[in-house]
Structure 1
């Protein structure tokens, strides 16, 4: 799919891409005496992180823009309101678009307990955001740091809401997944796909539920939402994004987007 900048009908200049390689560490393989250590960076280019793992737990979230984390066949979108908890030792890769201001909070493996044995979404509430930002203040007194860390650990919890796409891997569903991810505007229905693959709609329905944990319609909506967020953070206007991801109007796109993400498209517009 060719990306078109907002307000134009032509493709923009090629975007510089940067690939970073990091080591794969087992949990606790490196001494991490801290409780919570903050990190943040504004990426100047579209950036890819090769598969790696950390010796500590990690909470990923963004101050601005959107990024993705991939674990196996699962793809999460990370936003300013929805972060991702990554347990120590979890092999993952990631990506962020140019201009994304991403944040990470590292949690010492031996000084904190993981809130989950597997990656899980975390809602970045206003309170949690304020507490995490306070830990980044220079000159924070040790007693204040300890009190703030305790509050973070008290309010930190998995969220039932997540921007997750689970990729199906079977020979039956992979053609569908590849086609929709290549072109989210593909309007073929489940019945269309069943006819094209020469199987019953019930077969496709059961396979989607078994492999992705959701329905075909909701899976397509999640793929569209992930692509829409990427385009919105690149400055595309809402009408162009709606068309690009398969909706006949901006209003229909807005309703579907809010249903999937809990936010309006405008929350991700960078320009």
Structure 2
């Protein structure tokens, strides 16, 4: 996932990265919620990731909020994959197993919350708007010399600001054998131009069968699911600073305007604004 390891004082026994080809793989323990009663209420840490890094499935004894100061990454819980950016983070309740992927060049921030001191904003992982005010307050909590009373006031405001995002970028990955070839093709190349009819022909089923399978497993039809998968990839490319026209081509759109329309429908924001932020 996008995190850096659990901060000092959490009790986590983090293992070092394991080299796997061009990427690193990090392993962390699986903890139940509240298994370790940490001494802090809120603690945040930063890490600049200099190599593509995969985070194997793990869980924390604390609630966790993930967001990036720079770049886009992803976190997964079962078949659900969230995109994490400087604008939208992810709240992960304590004890929730999760994994993820952090591309090189990402600077991410992981915030841990003591279970018995902080009410969970959701019993399930949920995207959170990381507003400028929330960022400032979280940064204040990392400052040295903050007296206990000021820290408590700042923490209380942070709790008030934590709320589910309106446009969290979540993609559910189908797990059935029927849809596995589609998932693999789009994962390898989001610009894959195979239509619903084309997939039906390849798989020897009707378009209605594929549509029903996507609806049952993801809550989306094929076209909307594909647009969301492409938007997730586009966010990563935009975060790297690539030009919008180039991103449009890489994720399967014939024009920047068509890409912009699809991207805005999924994220609630046009690509230029997303890239600038």
Measured on the aligned residues, the alpha-carbon RMSD in Å equals 1.8
Matches within 5 A, 1:211-250: 211-250=217-256
How far apart, CA to CA, are the structure 1 residues paired with 2:270 and 2:147? 39
Task: Point out where structure 2 has 5 or more consecutive residues left out of the alignment.
Answer: 1-20
Q: Which residue of 2 aligns with 1:119?
A: 125
Aligned residues: 256
Q: 1:194 aligns with which of 200, 206, 218?
A: 200
| Cα offsets for 1:78-127 (capped at 9, x unmatched) | 00111100111111112211121101111101111211111111111222
Q: CA deviation at 1:230?
A: 2.0
Q: CA deviation at 1:185?
A: 0.8
How far apart, CA to CA, are the structure 2 residues paired with 1:205 and 1:248? 24
8 A Cα contact 1:97 1:234, kept in partner:
no
Structure 1 residue ranges, 4+ long, deviating more than 4 angstroms after superposition: 267-270
8 A Cα contact 1:71 1:93, kept in partner:
yes
Q: Does 2:160 match 1:154?
A: yes
TM-score for both structures, normalised by structure 2: 0.86
Change (3 A) 1:16 1:200: closer
- Shifted more, 172-181 versus 103-112: the winner is 172-181
Q: Does 2:31 match 1:25?
A: yes
How far apart, CA to CA, are the structure 2 residues paired with 1:263 and 1:36? 31
How far apart, CA to CA, are the structure 2 residues paired with 1:108 and 1:209? 37
How far apart, CA to CA, are the structure 2 residues paired with 1:232 and 1:46? 17
Q: 1:107 aligns with which of 108, 113, 123?
A: 113
Q: Which residue of 2 aligns with 1:143?
A: 149
How far apart, CA to CA, are the structure 2 residues paired with 1:174 and 1:241? 25
TM-score for both structures, normalised by structure 1: 0.88
Q: Does 2:41 match 1:35?
A: yes
Q: Secondary structure at the match of 1:135?
A: helix
8 A Cα contact 1:65 1:101, kept in partner:
yes
How far apart, CA to CA, are the structure 1 residues paired with 2:214 and 2:166? 20
Q: Does 2:82 match 1:62?
A: no
8 A Cα contact 1:65 1:268, kept in partner:
no
8 A Cα contact 1:46 1:98, kept in partner:
yes
Task: Point out where structure 1 has 5 or more consecutive residues left out of the alignment.
Answer: 1-14
How far apart, CA to CA, are the structure 2 residues paired with 1:172 and 1:51? 26
Q: CA deviation at 1:46?
A: 1.5
Q: Which residue of 1 aligns with 2:182?
A: 176
